[in-house]
C-alpha cells in the first residue's frame, strides 16, 4: 500500500510515500473494453437509479456483505442546468455550489463521461468480488446530485468505502494522479474526525494500487510527489460519515495525460487500480 511518513496539512501534500506489497489483484477476467473516447462507453447494460439501487451482489466472494459507493464526479447534463448547479448548499464549513460541469480534454472528451465510464468498470470488478455497489448517479438524473446529497448517499448506504472519481483540469505540463483525503473538520453539519484515519488508509491503498496497475506517476504539481493531498473545502468529504476519498486520475488539459484518459484500455486499468485499492482496504 501507499505508506506516508510525516504530517499532513489542509490543501497540501501529505508527506513522502512509497509503494508496498498488496494483496492479489482484482480479477479482470470479464473483459476490458478497448474503446477510445470517440466510441460508445462500454458499461453493463443495467442502469440503476443512482441514489437508491444497485444490481444484486453475487452470492459469494471475498467482499460479500460489504457496501461500496462509487461517486462519478459531475454529470453529463450539468451544463444544461446552470441555475440548478450554481445553487449554494451548506458543506459545514461554508456554502458552496451544488455541483459543477467539470472539465474536458482539449478535444472535448468530458470529465463527466470519463467518470461514469470508470465507475461502470469499477462496479463490474467489485461486484465480481461479492460487493454490493451503488453509484451516486448513473447518467439518469437531469443534473447533479449536489455535493451534499452525494455525501448523504454514501452515509445512508452505510458504505464501507466511498470513492469519488474525477479528472483534473490543470495547466499543460501538469501530469499525474492524486488522491484527496478529508482533513479533520468539526463545524456545523460537518464532522470528519471519525473518518480521517480510515479514509487515509483507504486513500493510501488506492494510490498504491493505482501506481502499480496503471503505471502512472503521482502528480508533479500537487502533493509534493506523494499523490496524496488533504483538503477541508470539499462538501463530499466534509459531510461524509463513512470512509471516503476523491481521486483525480490525471490532468485532462495535458495532452499526454489526455491520451491516457481517452483510452478505453487505460480506463480499464484505472478502474482496476482503484478497485484493488478498495479491496485491499476492505480486507484489511
Give the catalytic positions in this structure.
Answer: 248
φ and ψ of 109, to 5 deg: -75, 120
CA count, 13 A, side-chain hemisphere, 223: 26
- The number of CA neighbours under 13 Å toward the Cβ of 208 is 25
CA distance 62 to 52: 24
Distance, in Å, from the CA atom of 70 to the CA atom of 165, rounded to the nearest integer, reads 7
Q: Are 130 and 212 in contact (CB under 8 A)?
A: no
3-state helix, strand, coil in the chain (%, to 5): 30, 20, 50
How many angstroms separate the CA atoms of 39 and 281, rounded? 33
Amino acid at each position: 500500500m501507499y505508506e506516508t511518513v510525516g504530517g499532513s496539512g489542509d490543501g497540501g501534500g501529505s508527506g513522502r510515500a512509497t509503494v508496498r506489497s498488496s494483496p492479489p489483484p482484482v480479477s479482470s477476467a470479464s473483459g476490458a473494453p478497448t474503446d477510445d473516447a470517440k466510441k460508445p462507453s462500454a458499461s453493463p447494460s443495467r442502469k440503476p437509479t443512482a441514489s437508491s439501487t444497485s444490481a444484486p451482489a453475487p452470492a459469494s466472494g471475498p467482499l460479500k456483505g460489504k457496501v461500496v459507493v462509487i461517486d462519478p464526479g459531475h454529470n453529463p447534463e450539468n451544463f444544461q442546468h446552470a441555475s440548478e448547479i450554481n445553487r449554494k448548499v451548506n458543506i459545514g464549513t461554508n456554502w458552496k455550489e451544488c455541483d459543477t460541469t467539470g472539465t474536458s480534454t482539449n478535444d472535448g472528451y468530458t470529465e463527466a463521461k470519463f467518470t461514469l465510464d470508470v465507475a461502470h468498470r469499477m462496479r463490474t470488478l467489485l461486484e465480481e468480488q461479492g460487493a454490493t455497489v451503488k453509484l451516486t448517479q448513473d447518467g439518469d438524473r437531469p443534473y447533479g446530485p449536489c455535493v451534499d446529497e452525494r455525501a448523504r448517499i454514501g452515509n445512508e448506504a452505510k458504505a464501507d468505502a466511498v470513492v469519488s472519481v474525477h479528472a483534473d483540469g490543470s495547466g499543460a505540463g501538469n501530469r499525474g494522479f492524486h488522491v484527496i483525503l478529508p482533513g479533520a473538520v468539526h463545524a456545523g453539519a460537518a464532522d470528519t474526525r471519525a473518518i480521517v484515519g480510515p479514509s487515509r488508509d483507504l486513500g493510501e491503498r488506492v494510490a498504491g494500487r493505482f501506481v502499480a496497475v496503471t503505471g502512472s506517476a503521482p502528480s508533479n504539481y500537487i502533493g509534493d510527489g506523494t499523490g496524496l493531498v488533504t483538503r477541508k473545502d470539499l462538501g463530499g468529504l466534509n459531510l461524509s460519515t463513512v470512509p471516503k476519498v476523491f481521486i483525480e486520475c490525471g490532468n485532462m488539459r495535458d495532452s499526454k495525460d489526455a491520451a491516457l484518459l481517452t483510452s478505453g484500455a487505460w480506463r480499464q486499468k484505472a478502474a482496476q487500480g482503484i478497485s484493488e485499492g478498495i479491496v485491499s482496504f476492505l480486507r484489511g
